[in-house]
Amino acid sequence: MSDVKEIILKQRRYFEEGKTKDLNFRMEKLRVLRKVIIENEEEIREALHKDLNKTPFEAYATEVGIVLEELSYTLKHLPKWVKRKRVRTPITQFLATSFTYPEPHGITLIMSPWNYPFQLAMAPLIGAIAAGNCSVIKPSEYSFNTSVVIEKLIKENFKEEFITVVRGGREANKTLLDEKFDHIFFTGSVAVGKTVMEAASKHLTPVTLELGGKSPCIVDETANIDLAAKRIMWGKLLNSGQTCVAPDYLLVHSSIKSKLIDKMKEYVIEFYGKNPSKNEDYPKIINEKHFKRLQSLIIGEEIVFGGQFNEETHQISPTIVHNITWDSPVMLEEIFGPILPVLEFEHLSEVISQVNKHPKPLALYFFTTKKEREEQILRDISFGGGCINDTIVHLATSYMPFGGVGESGMGGYHGKASFDTFSHQKSIMKRSNLLDIPLRYPPFKNKLSLVKKVMR
| Residues labelled catalytic | 210, 244
Residue type, 387: C
Looking at residue 46, the DSSP 8-state letter turns out to be H
C-alpha 386/C-alpha 132 separation (Å) is: 30
Rounded to the nearest 10 degrees, how much is the dihedral formed by the CA atoms of 166, 170, 175, 181? 70
Residue 113: name the closest of 136, 148, 134, 138 by CA. Answer: 138
Burial class (CB in 10 A: 0-12, 13-18, 19+), 399: exposed
C-alpha 131/C-alpha 415 separation (Å) is: 12
Q: Which long-range contacts (CB under 8 A, 24 or more apart) does 114-117 make?
A: 114/51, 114/140, 114/142, 114/143, 114/286, 115/52, 115/143, 115/239, 115/242, 115/243, 115/244, 115/286, 115/336, 116/62, 116/63, 116/239, 116/243, 117/48, 117/51, 117/63, 117/143, 117/146, 117/147, 117/150
Residues 6+ apart with CB under 8 A from 48: 54, 59, 63, 117, 118, 145, 146
The pair phi, psi for residue 390, each rounded to 5°, is -165, 175
Are residues 182 and 107 in contact, defined by beta-carbon separation less than 8 angstroms? yes
Q: What is the DSSP string of 331-364?
A: GSS---SSEEEEEEESSHHHHHHHHHTSPPPSEE
CA atoms lying within 13 Å on the CB side of residue 320: 21
Characterise 239 by phi-psi region: left (phi > 0), alpha (psi -120 to 50), beta (else).
left
C-alpha 316/C-alpha 277 separation (Å) is: 5
C-alpha 63/C-alpha 79 separation (Å) is: 26
C-alpha 67/C-alpha 61 separation (Å) is: 10
